[in-house]
Amino acid sequence: MAILSVILPFHNEVAGVRGLFRRLYPVLGQLDLEYEIICIDDGSSDKTFEALLHEREFDQRLKIVRLARNFGKETALTCGLHLAKGDAAITMDSDLQHPPETILPLVQKWREGFQMVYAVRNDRKTDGRLRRLFSLAFYRIFRTIGDIKIPEGAGDFCLLDRAVIQAVNALPERNRFMKGLTAWVGFRQGTVPFDVGAREGGVTHWNFFRLVRFAFDGISSFSTFPLRIWTWCGAVVSFCALAYALYLVFDTLVRGVDVPGYASLMVGVLFLGGLQLLSLGIMGEYMARIFIEVKARPLYFIAEQKGVDPEPHV
Ligand code: UDP
Ligand code: MG
């Protein structure tokens, strides 16, 4: 019988652990599949790990890994995919915002032959207004300048066939923007809709600055447009400057020297200064990411594990 790996990242989710498993098991029971549940404790400072160990007393199919510190959700998911033994894996949030019942249509779609199935949210009612606006802007920008297409409303709730798992595991980059990586590798992709649930206990880990950083991580991993745009800006500004210089020469020859012009001078200097700093900043962002890739540090360290083979399955 085929095996399904369910990958769950946890960061300070002790309040929701019991509720999650209570809803997950009936769903897994309905599937005509073997399963393993891979729980990644992403450096929680509460009793999440103990709660997971407690769950394992009832079900030995639970595999639990505690990362050495908080590496972030993308890295936790990467670790889960390294460990997954299944013919397919499902990644989902552990705060019950991704309803376990949606696993059924995901698996159904997989059986129809899709190798990468995204669960796409019906609406964003559970998000604040700022976050909704931000997501919309992100997907617009990403679609316009990114090299790949992410289905609108798709997140990290998805099913990956073994072929996709292997492809994603083979990607060496340290900046793991999972949504992008899964879309980039290709294969037959499908979607199923779902309604986002309310968060079951605990608090969200996002704030505005983290979101901005995450968004730029995503864009910079899949687009060089922010780097290239300065070539065009530079060309346009230079052209304008040349035209203005010609005008000034002409004007001086015809009307003589004209001293006033402080305002236009200041505007020019400040505008160009700002533009240069901005372009330098963007280059710095890319350079910082190159720096991280070049260092080639391991993505994560495992501090403790229960039920996991010592050798990750890469
Ligand atoms: N998470 C994680 N590491 C982190 C932050 C979050 O493993 O550093 C997990 C968290 O436990 C949850 C999922 O990622 O299962 C989504 O996090 P959250 O609910 O804060 O994000 P949101 O639903 O607001 O996008
Ligand atoms: Mg959540």
| pLDDT, tens digit, 9 for 90 and up, residues 226-259 | 888 888 888 888 888 888 888 888 888 888 876 7
The set of residues, in sequence order, having a beta carbon less than 8 Å from that of 170 and lying 6+ positions away, is none
Q: Tokens 């700093």 appear where?
A: 277
Per the structure block, which two tokens stand in for 108? Answer: 């159904």
Instruction: Pick from 13, 71, 79, 93 the residue to mutate for probing ligand 1's pocket: most ligand atoms within 8 Å of its CB.
Output: 93
Cα angle 7, 314, 210 (rounded to 5 degrees) comes to 50
Give CA separation, 50 vs 80, 300, 304, in Å: 19, 21, 12
The token duo for 147 is 């090299």
3-state secondary structure of 31: coil
Q: Is the CB of 179 under 6 A from ligand 1?
A: no
pLDDT of residue 303: 86
The per-residue pLDDT for range 164-212, each reduced to its tens digit, is 999 999 998 888 888 888 888 889 888 898 888 777 676 777 778 888 8
Taking the centre of ligand 2 as the mean of its atom positions, its distance from the CA of residue 136, in whole angstroms, is: 18
Q: Are 276 and 233 in contact (CB under 8 A)?
A: no
pLDDT on residue 150: 81
Is the Cβ atom of 11 under 6 angstroms away from ligand 1?
yes
Q: Which pLDDT score is estimated for 89?
A: 96
pLDDT band for 115, please (50, 70, 90 cuts): very high
The DSSP result for 58-70, as a single string, is T-TTEEEEEESS-
Cβ of 16 closer than 6 Å to ligand 1, yes or no, is: no
What is the average per-residue pLDDT within 5-18? 91
Q: Is residue 45 packed enough to be buried (19+ CB in 10 Å), middle (13-18) or exposed (0-12)?
A: exposed
Q: Which ligand is nearest to the CA of 93?
A: 1
Helix, strand, or coil (residue 305): strand
Regarding beta strands 302-306 and 62-67, do their DSSP bridges make them parallel or antiparallel, or are they unpaired? antiparallel
Mean pLDDT score of the chain: 86
Q: What does the domain layout of the chain look like in residue ranges? A: 3-223+297-306, 225-295
User: How confident is the model at residue 180, as a pLDDT?
Assistant: 86
Residue 130 binned pLDDT confidence (cut-offs 50, 70, 90):
confident
**How does pLDDT run across 279-310, given as a tens digit for each residue?**
888 888 888 888 888 888 898 998 888 878 76
The pLDDT of residue 306: 81
CATH topology of domain 3-223+297-306: Spore Coat Polysaccharide Biosynthesis Protein SpsA; Chain A (3.90.550)
pLDDT (mean) for 26-41? 90
Instruction: Output the CA 42–ligand 1 centroid distance in Å.
Output: 9
Q: pTM of the full predicted structure?
A: 0.76
C-alpha–C-alpha distance, residues 109 and 135, integer Å: 26
pLDDT for 20 beyond 70: yes
Q: What is the pLDDT of residue 311?
A: 57
Q: What is the pLDDT of residues 90-112, one digit of tens each?
A: 999 998 889 999 999 999 999 99
- Per-residue pLDDT tens over the stretch 45-65: 988 999 998 888 888 889 999
Ligand at shortest distance from the CA of 14: 1
The secondary structure element, H or E, covering residue 214 is helix 208-222
Q: Which amino acid is at 115?
A: Q
Query: Cβ(34)–Cβ(4) under 8 Å?
Result: yes
Classify residue 314 by burial, with Cβ atoms within 10 Å: 0-12, 13-18, 19+.
Answer: exposed
Q: Highest mean pLDDT range out of 8-12, 15-19, 60-64? A: 8-12
